[in-house]
A and B are shown apart, each in its own frame.
Chain A
């Protein structure tokens, strides 16, 4: 089968790989029909995540058709069309039982800080991902969900990560009716976080980024106020001025380790890898939120250390909430919102590539060329 093959930072290609096999009674083999490249895949692509081994196949956002099931999988049958949450979760451990499916303790041997994730380095379990024609899906009786009748495939695809992550970012913000919410980052997750902030009753939603085409998009899609930090002397002072000099009620970091906007963070975090990526967005979030406010982090950072103003977290009495998204917990509500026409996640897809064109797809997304917001890969596009 054809699969993405990581060869080192900024180098990927498509190669023939052996077909995945059932390795556990609760596995399934899924034929991928659509897969996304996620913003967090770019952290791998840029070589920022330790233990990303050459030969890995990335991809944690995908949908497909069940082609084989293990002996213990009773809820799925061959031929089912499923969306597969990016978390690999057993459903039995103490964390899964709390609804913390992203923190499953039975899906990742290599690191205790995070549960298993498809195609996200050996830190996240060493599983191959869905940027391929076929993929092994462990715990297929827990995560994969049959795509509801009538749901658009690409809406279902964005339910595997992007929409739930944006939604959980807003949820973790503990937004109260009328709150001012600032979202740092107008990438796919930031766009969804801004859109979902309204569902929680926000009174004002402000998005900060540096790419004009994304700001224009989010302004219409969310809808919200959107500003370019390149036009500001200091984004923190800008936010303070907009909020009667008190700060925002809630700040969301939807950028993570690839943030730009601060030379020191960029050099030490992205160029020299002296910290786990650049923490510029988180820095701004902590300093822009009001005293007693909430900072919600869904941007992905590496496992080592980052330079953040922790003293200000203490002095301002900020609550910091963060997690990888527990997709399964949020799916019922989000499926309902899509079916009721409240949310339309597929509208953020700007590019579709054949799997064979993966190197160009990564390059375009990584370099923000051609006004790219969300790229989708289509295996077997030519057949």
Chain B
């Protein structure tokens, strides 16, 4: 098939960054800037004020880290278990995924404890779905009702036999 963008060389900026030296390992081979590879002067260490889990593929905490949402409850216990294993193990990732799902339930429980019943319709942004996807919602509802009715009629006719 023919190139449909004719006169492409007239596109603003065409070829402005064409660089024959852009070979496939740039910038990984930028050894000039690398200096003494294994050593660097570490930035000042941030002092943790909450529990920070760290990958067992490194010996220490990074110099800075986020202190948001330390591990808590059952999900926290699972996260602590996960971090005993390296990033190359399913024993690391699968407990983390499970912890996320449990954490969702913990969040709902905490909301209720705080006197705030989660508004699932608002949190899921369904107002927008109604505003911009009314036709699809009505179509899906009609299909659902149709299937439901068909199943009901089928079951009823079987029961009558």
Q: Which residues of A contact B (CB under 8 A)?
A: 7-13, 23-27, 47, 50-57, 72, 88, 90, 92-94, 97-100, 105-113, 116, 122, 125-128, 138-139, 171, 174-177, 196, 198-205, 223-225, 241-242, 273, 294, 303-304, 319, 321, 326, 329, 333, 337, 341-343, 359-364, 367, 369-370
B54 contacts A50, C-beta separation under 8 Å: no
With known contacts A342-B13, A369-B129, A105–B62 Cβ distance under 8 A: yes
Across the interface, A109 reaches (CB within 8 A) one of B8, B24, B58, namely: B58
Q: Once the chains bind, are A110 and B5 in contact (CB under 8 Å)?
A: no
Interface contacts beyond A110-B65, A359-B124, A362-B125: sample of 17 additional A-B pairs, CB < 8 Å, sorted by A: A11-B104, A26-B44, A50-B96, A54-B107, A56-B69, A92-B40, A92-B42, A97-B35, A98-B30, A99-B30, A105-B62, A199-B18, A204-B3, A303-B87, A303-B93, A341-B12, A359-B122
For the complex, give the distance between the alpha carbons of A337 and B62 in Å. 35
Of all A-B residue pairs in the complex, the 5 with the closest CB atoms, nearest first, are A363-B125, A126-B66, A8-B104, A201-B18, A127-B66
Interface 1/0 per residue, B44-75 and A, CB below 8 Å: 10100000111101100111111111000001
* Bound Cα distance A51, B69 (Å): 11
| Interchain CA distance A164-B70 in the complex, whole Å | 32
- Point out the residues of chain A lying under 8 angstroms from B68, CB to CB: 53, 55-57, 126-128
Q: Cα distance A202–B128 when bound, in Å?
A: 40
Contacts of A56 in B (CB 8 A): 68-69
Docked-complex contact B87 and A111, CB < 8 angstroms: yes
Contact check, B99 vs A51: say whether CB atoms are below 8 A apart.
yes
Tell me which of A11, A90, A99 has the highest count of chain B C-beta atoms within 10 A of its own C-beta: A11
A-B contact pairs, 17 of them (CB 8 A): A7-B111, A23-B64, A26-B64, A54-B107, A94-B35, A94-B38, A107-B64, A109-B52, A109-B65, A112-B57, A199-B18, A201-B17, A294-B24, A359-B123, A359-B128, A363-B128, A369-B129
**Contact across chains for B8 and A360 when beta carbons are under 8 A apart:** no
Q: Interface residue tally of chain B, by bracket? A: 35 or more
Once the chains bind, are A99 and B55 in contact (CB under 8 Å)? no
B104: which A residues are within 8 A, CB to CB? 7-9, 11, 54
A360 touches B127 (CB 8 A): yes
In contact, B66 and A122 (Cβ under 8 angstroms): yes
Q: How far is the CB of B135 from chain A (nearest CB, A)?
A: 11
CA gap between A151 and B139 in the complex, in Å: 46
- Measured CB to CB, the nearest residue on chain A to B15 is A201
A112–B24 touching, CB < 8 Å: no
Closest to B46 in A: A24
Residues of chain A within 8 A of B4, CB atoms compared: 225
B11 surroundings in chain A (CB, below 8 A): 198, 223
Q: How far is the CB of B74 from chain A (nearest CB, A)?
A: 13
Shortest CB-to-CB span from A91 to chain B, Å, is 9
A245 to chain B, nearest CB (A): 11
Asked whether, in the complex, the Cβ of B62 is within 8 Å of the Cβ of A107, the reply is: yes
A166: shortest Cβ distance to chain B, in Å?
A: 13
Of A56, A57, A110, most buried by chain B (CB within 10 Å of CB) is A110
CA distance A214 to B23 in the complex (A): 32
Nearest chain B CB to A359 CB, angstrom units: 4
Q: Which residues of B contact A343 (CB under 8 A)?
A: 13
Give the residue name and chain of the B residue nearest to A225 (CB).
B4
- B28 adjacent to chain A (CB < 8 Å): yes
CB pair B64–A116 under 8 Å, yes or no, is: yes
Contact with A along B16-49 (1 / 0, CB 8 A): 1111101110011010011101101111101000
Quick check: B124 and A363 within 8 Å, CB to CB? yes
- Kindly identify which residue among A125, A198, A370 contacts B13, using a CB–CB cutoff of 8 Å: A198
- A112 near B18 with CB under 8 A, answer no
Q: What A residues does B20 contact at CB under 8 A?
A: 176
- Which chain B residues border A223 with CB–CB below 8 Å? 5, 11
Q: A51-B99, A174-B22, A369-B133 are in contact. Are A204 and B8 (CB under 8 A)?
A: yes
Shortest CB distance B107–A (Å):
4
Chain A hits for B37, CB < 8 A = 94
Give A47 to B63 CA distance when docked, in angstroms: 28
CA gap between A343 and B96 in the complex, in Å:
41
Taking CB as reference atom, which chain A residue is nearest B132? A369
For B43, give the chain A residue with the smallest CB separation. Answer: A90
- B33 partner residues in chain A, CB cutoff 8 A: 97-99
With a cutoff of 8 Å between Cβ atoms, the chain B residues found around residue A326 in the complex are: 27
Residues of B within 8 A of A100 (CB): 27-28
With A50-B93, A72-B44 as given contacts, are A241 and B123 in contact (CB-CB < 8 Å)? no
